[in-house]
Amino acid sequence: MTSLFRLLTPSPRAIERDAFELVLPDGRTIEIARVRDPRARRLKLSVDERGARLTLPPRTSAATGERFVAEHAQWLAAQLQRFASDGGDTLVRDQTTHLPLRGRAVPLRWETGRTTRLQPDGDADALVFSLPTQARDAAIQRAARDFFEAQGRADVGRWLPRYLPGLPRAPRQVRFKVMSSQWGSLAPDGSVTLDLSLVLARPSAFEYVLVHELCHLIHHDHSRAFWREVEARFPTWRDERRYFNAEGRRLKAMLRALIGG
């Protein structure tokens, strides 16, 4: 009888997670984490150090949720600004003397050049920002973003070959974007997206996020089996999660200050 009862009892619905983008009144585009929770009874928009989050009841459509967020865009922008108030300094020509990179403050010098470019300063453990006299702030921010993306790709290129054995397949691609709440994600086609601010973090934390997303190629959930795969490849993953709990908000704020948006 008990077995029959279990067969007739519907299984509890799992929490579904994805994300969508919203253009704020000031023109910024942000990513909002969307959570469809079977236990939710109403729409809920919240903001914390990880970013914005929309929680939906099971029967509420995604379109209804997005309209709800759009109606509260002014409030959302104010809350995000409050959480970003402890962010890093903006990038100012001839004034910024250090840049965050791989958990360190790296010395930076400025020079006049034909193109706007941020790069390593020769063999020195430092950076040099070359730019024309008339370079605008937007060009400086773009160059900084290009540099951070190049550094992130270089790090992934060093680490990835170590973890490919044992995976069902290699990731289709690895790309970087500014993510307001997440550190990484795996798309259904096997593409890995990583938050650009990871390149500012200590390398071990960045590497852990890469391993985390690669393990989703084996298990598309956060089951015990998934965490066993993570543990086998990166035994110190708990230390890195504690690091993100302590430093994550600051890392994301520093990146926004440096590259805009």
Distance of alpha carbon 261 from alpha carbon 257, whole angstroms:
8
Cα–Cα separations (whole angstroms), residue 223 to 37, 144, 180, 228, 235: 17, 38, 24, 9, 17
* Other CB atoms within 10 Å distance of the CB of residue 183: 25
- Block means of pLDDT (10 residues each) for the chain, 261 residues, are 52 81 89 92 83 91 94 90 68 94 96 95 88 94 97 98 96 95 94 98 98 98 97 98 92 91 64
Domain with CATH 3.30.2010.10 in the chain: 136-259
Cα–Cα separations (whole angstroms), residue 107 to 51, 80, 87, 201, 259: 30, 30, 19, 16, 18
Angle between helices 73-83 and 62-71 (to 10 degrees): 70
- The pLDDT score that the predictor gives to residue 49 is 57
| SS3 (DSSP) at 19 | strand
CATH topology of domain 136-259: Zincin-like (3.30.2010)
Distance of alpha carbon 214 from alpha carbon 206, whole angstroms:
13
- The pLDDT score that the predictor gives to residue 9 is 52
